[in-house]
Amino acid sequence: MDFTSRAIAYCRPGFEKDLAAEFAAKCAKSGVAGQSHSTPDCGFVLHEFDAPLEEAQRVVAYDQLVFARQLIWVRETIDDLPEKDRLTPLMAAIGRLHGRFGRVWAETPDTNEAKTLSSFFKRFMPILESALHDNKRLFDRPDAPNLHLFFTSPKRVFIGTSDPSQASPWPMGIARLRMPREAPSRSTLKLAEAFFGLLSEDERKSSLRAGLKAVDLGAAPGGWTWQFAHRGLLVTAIDNGTMAESVRATGMVEHIRADGFVWKPPRPVEWMVCDMVEQPSRVAQLVAEWVASGRCRRTMFNLKLPMKKRHEALEQARNLIYRRMSVSGRDWTLRFKHLYHDREEITGYLAATK
């Protein structure tokens, strides 16, 4: 079969099968034939569609692929890039693409082997960017398409594009966040990334305002609680464990020693977050009940997925949430993403929209 369009999705090494399963499910639902290619721990999936580019883009989108860090549409491939003159063949390939670009990124899979190209990128990218500016192919427009040079080896590069509204805002899809000095654990970075990766700008402005109330189930030592407290939200931290002094010192936190699966708020709150180590089906039922019953308006949560059945566990959790919310009488939205700061877990966002 001759495939007519191709996409590459980046992922955490080891999650290629889960990402390929998502591509397969999307193609099966739409009736479009396709085929995925990857090797274990390579950090990406190349998927070919038996459909024109415009149709393939309707089949799958970045925000619909849970295990994708980034999604690009392949326009050109160079399989034998010469070491002494990389600029000429790259400019020739880019010259065959239409339009202009808002930014250009040189990227690799997130593997130790591929990271050896980073020193080359530092030397080469200013030269390429200058050439693109001289040819009027690069201009300062945040809504213009992104140009991606995805190197899988020093000689092989996929040249692709992405729509900024349907792509990760970070090179390689990796959120480079600084660990706050006052935060008590690195788990705080998961929630910080989730705020940018799963919420729109309008949602962040409306839901992370000072004075709103949040509940953190399984809060200790307080990494997620800190994210709310330092934004000025009032947090009720539920955990039988001890909260870190830096979290208590904010003056924004009430610590209640209780079981997160049992405790209920006396009044509705804006947020409930949950990073408890528990079966994903149990967490899914818990967060769905909080939103469906009106205890909270929105929730961010982690699902700890079993290594050999990640995709199946995700679909089971999704179905449990769908079933509970479908009888709630509320309009709602549900999103999932395997964030850079996640490991074997994925992060979910569930919110009542009315």
Catalytic residues: 304
Q: Which two tokens stand for residue 229?
A: 């407290």
Residue/partner pairs of 234-240 with CB below 8 Å, 24 or more apart: 236/265, 236/269, 238/263
Cα–Cα nearest to 1, from 72, 49, 57, 37: 49
| 216 within 8 A of 237, measured Cβ to Cβ | yes
Report the C-alpha gap between 338 and 340 in whole angstroms: 7
Report the C-alpha gap between 158 and 78 in whole angstroms: 7
Q: How far apart are the first and last CA of the chain?
A: 47
Q: What string of DSSP letters covers 248-303?
A: HTTS-EEEE-S-TTT---SS-EEEEEE---S-HHHHHHHHHHHHHTTSEEEEEEEE
H or E segment at 304?
Answer: strand 296-304
Q: Which two tokens stand for residue 193?
A: 């990334």
| 348 within 8 A of 287, measured Cβ to Cβ | yes
CA distances 72 to 8, 85, 295, 296, Å, are: 5, 25, 39, 36
201: DSSP letter: H
Report the C-alpha gap between 212 and 208 in whole angstroms: 7
Report the C-alpha gap between 186 and 188 in whole angstroms: 5
Report the C-alpha gap between 328 and 339 in whole angstroms: 29
Tell me the residue type at 6.
R
CA distances 173 to 15, 40, 82, Å, are: 15, 19, 27
